[in-house]
Amino acid sequence: MRKKLKNMSFSALGAAVLCILAPLSLPAGALPITLSFFALLLVAGILPPKTAIPAVLVYIALGAVGVPVFANFSGGFQVIVGPTGGFILGYVPMAAIVSFFKGNLPKTVLIMFLSAVLGYFVGCLWLSFTTESSFMSSLLYTAATCFLPDVVKIFSAALLACTIRKRVATL
């Protein structure tokens, strides 16, 4: 019972981190530059899969029912089915990959980068479907808008997650 409560607490904490950081964004056309990607990588880089994945699912569920936790403090099911919905839904497999395969700093950076490739793929498929554009144009637009900021987020999240994991392990 105690372990279950601990896991639920860590999931709730992870969801809270996502809900606090994710709405913060800079407008950049159809795809705002947000801290949700950073928060997702950080949470998945710290927590094990049994707590990271539920944290992401809670975050998405809260946003889907209207809590303003998505970019620009938006919320509602219309965001999930809108142009950026694929990126949000892609957070679940991204969190699974990062939380399952994280390790030392270089491995964590690599895993976060590979999960980002998956997230871009899922998000761009959805973006191209909802905007009736080609997958390649969606990918080019996403890469032009998000790639450099996302690289910074990957390195920052990996460094912070590895540091936090080391500190927590010594307690």
Is the confidence at residue 171, as pLDDT, over 70?
A: no
Query: What global pTM score does this model have?
Result: 0.93
Which structural domain range is residue 147 located in?
Answer: 2-166
Instruction: Say which CATH number the domain at 155 has.
Output: 1.10.1760.20
Comparing 12 with 26, which gets the higher pLDDT? 12
pLDDT on residue 33: 82
pLDDT tens digits, residue range 56-108?
999 999 999 999 999 889 999 999 999 999 999 999 999 999 999 999 999 99
Q: At 70, phi and psi to the nearest 5?
A: -90, 180
The crossing angle, in degrees rounded to 10, of helices 105-131 and 135-169 is: 150
Residue 119 lies in a domain: yes
**Residue-level pLDDT at 20:** 97
CB-CB contact of 51 with 11 (8 Å) = yes
The total number of structural domains that make up the chain: 1
Distance from CA of residue 132 to its chain's centroid? 25
Q: What's the pLDDT tens digit per position in 126-143?
A: 999 999 999 999 999 888
Q: Is residue 171 part of a domain?
A: no
pLDDT of 145 reads: 87
- The C-alpha atoms of residue 55 and residue 64 are separated, in whole angstroms, by 14
- What confidence score (pLDDT) does residue 118 get? 97
